[in-house]
Amino acid sequence: MAEFALANAVYATLVEGYACEIGACCNAMDNVSKNTSGMLTLSSCSTAVAVKLLSSMR
């Protein structure tokens, strides 16, 4: 019976560790998506400002 309890505890620990790893990866990918979206918005805004500046110089 003790062997079963030990195997069960080891298995539960492995499953929990794997779930934490998947959660951390999902969280990291979500943060990357949010940061990339912000960078693209900032980039397009900077491009629009640069175009306005260049057109006003002519």
- What is the number of domains present in the chain? 1
Q: Round to whole Å and give the CA distance between 12 and 52.
A: 60
Cα end-to-end distance, the chain, whole Å: 86
**pTM summary value:** 0.54
Structural domain for 14, as ranges: 1-55
Q: What is the DSSP string of 1-58?
A: -HHHHHHHHHHHHHHHHHHHHHHHHHHHHHHHHHHHHHHHHHHHHHHHHHHHHHHHH-
- Average pLDDT of adjacent 10-residue blocks, the chain of 58 residues: 94 94 91 76 64 68
